[in-house]
Amino acid sequence: MSDDHVYLSLAEGHDEGGDARWAFGTGFEDPLHGVDTAVPAGVDATELAATCLALGDDALVSAQRLAEWTTRAPELEEEVALANIGLDLLGQARLLYARCGQVDGSGRGEDAYAYLRDADDFRNVRLAELPGGDFAFSIVRLLVLSSWRLAHFERLAASPDPVLSAVAAKGVKELTYHRQYAADWAVRLGDGTPESHRRMRAALHQVGPYLGELFTAYDVRDEVVAVLAQVTEAAGLPMPAWRPTPGAGREGGHTEHLAPLLAELQGVARAHPGAVW
């Protein structure tokens, strides 16, 4: 039919984007292909591994919480958006675990980190593991974590390790988008209705105690606080109260919520030793 070509050519264009996404998201090829994986001289391998593991754990646990929204999002368009963010973070986790396995001397693959460690061995910040809560809580958490992670990745893009640098550079684009998504929603919900405003206040109150952990771990506090100040002001919301308490998640100290999250994540993999998927 003569009218087909326009749509077919459009579909082709669409397909190219899809391929790029799949190549990254499904592991059909080595995600670190083409990047020199040797640890450069002067880089402390132990420290590099610890950084990759901690950032990988943040991403995996966050992706798991985002995946819980599937079929439960407030609108269908948000299903797609939340899944995109979850997939980005899952992709980051995989790259970071892969790097960790290369430099910590264990030679482990991504799944060994995700599926064969107990809660004590996870190094994610506790904010990432808190139960899902309502959409307001998810938005506030995403705003905080994406702002914080973005500030951190921007610095890591200049890392002397070429792999971490490449992972961070890719992540910066993704996280910029995540932060924008969260900021837009924070403003809508803060300004929208009395109910949404109330829920946002509650969510900000809820994340407060977990901010100190972020701010002691890395020197990005001022940047994150500035973002939060800008967004909360636009949203007509108060800044969350935080105290500079020592981090616990980075040392393996977690809330009671991480173990059940991992039980769900790891259950099938652990129930079938020797199986291949």
- Binders of another protein among 93-112, rule CB under 8 A? 93-94, 97, 110-111
Reading the block at residue 242, the tokens are: 């935080």
Of the candidate spans 47-55, 88-96, 211-219, 220-228, the one that interacts with another protein by CB under 8 A turns out to be: 88-96
Of 180 and 245, CB closest to another protein? 180
Of the candidate spans 4-12, 142-150, 161-169, 201-209, the one that interacts with another protein by CB under 8 A turns out to be: 4-12
Of 12 and 256, CB closest to another protein? 12
* Rounded distance between C-alpha atoms, residue 42 and residue 257, angstroms: 38
Of 130 and 187, CB closest to another protein? 187
Distance of closest approach, residue 18 Cβ to another protein, in angstroms: 6
Q: How far is CA 261 from CA 21, 126, 147, 208, in A?
A: 27, 12, 24, 22
| In contact, 141 and 127? CB cutoff 8 Å | yes
Of the candidate spans 17-25, 42-50, 212-220, 243-251, the one that interacts with another protein by CB under 8 A turns out to be: 17-25
Residues 131-170 that bind another protein (CB under 8 A): 134-135
Q: Could you count the other beta carbons within 10 Å of the beta carbon of residue 194? A: 7
The reply on whether position 115 binds another protein by CB under 8 A is yes
Alpha helices in the chain (DSSP H): 4-25, 45-67, 76-103, 110-115, 126-129, 135-156, 162-191, 194-207, 211-217, 221-235, 258-271
Q: Sign of the CA dihedral 157, 243, 139, 264?
A: positive
Residues 176-215 that bind another protein (CB under 8 A): 177, 180-181, 184, 187-189, 191-193, 195-196, 199
SS3 208: helix
Residues 208-267 that bind another protein (CB under 8 A): 264-265, 267
The binder of another protein chosen from 40, 121, 173, 260 (CB under 8 A) = 173
N- to C-terminal Cα distance for the chain?
A: 43
Q: Which residue, among 35, 65, 22, 41, has the nearest Cα to 167 in the 3D structure?
A: 35
Distance of closest approach, residue 122 Cβ to another protein, in angstroms: 15
Residues 49-78 that bind another protein (CB under 8 A): 60, 63-64, 67-68, 70-78
The binder of another protein chosen from 52, 53, 91, 151 (CB under 8 A) = 91
Of the candidate spans 43-51, 91-99, 153-161, 162-170, the one that interacts with another protein by CB under 8 A turns out to be: 91-99
| In contact, 33 and 164? CB cutoff 8 Å | no
Of 9 and 230, CB closest to another protein? 9
The binder of another protein chosen from 39, 90, 166, 258 (CB under 8 A) = 90
| Rounded to 5°, angle at Cα 219 from 217 and 225 | 100
φ/ψ of 138, rounded to 5, equals: -60, -40
The binder of another protein chosen from 23, 229, 241, 268 (CB under 8 A) = 268
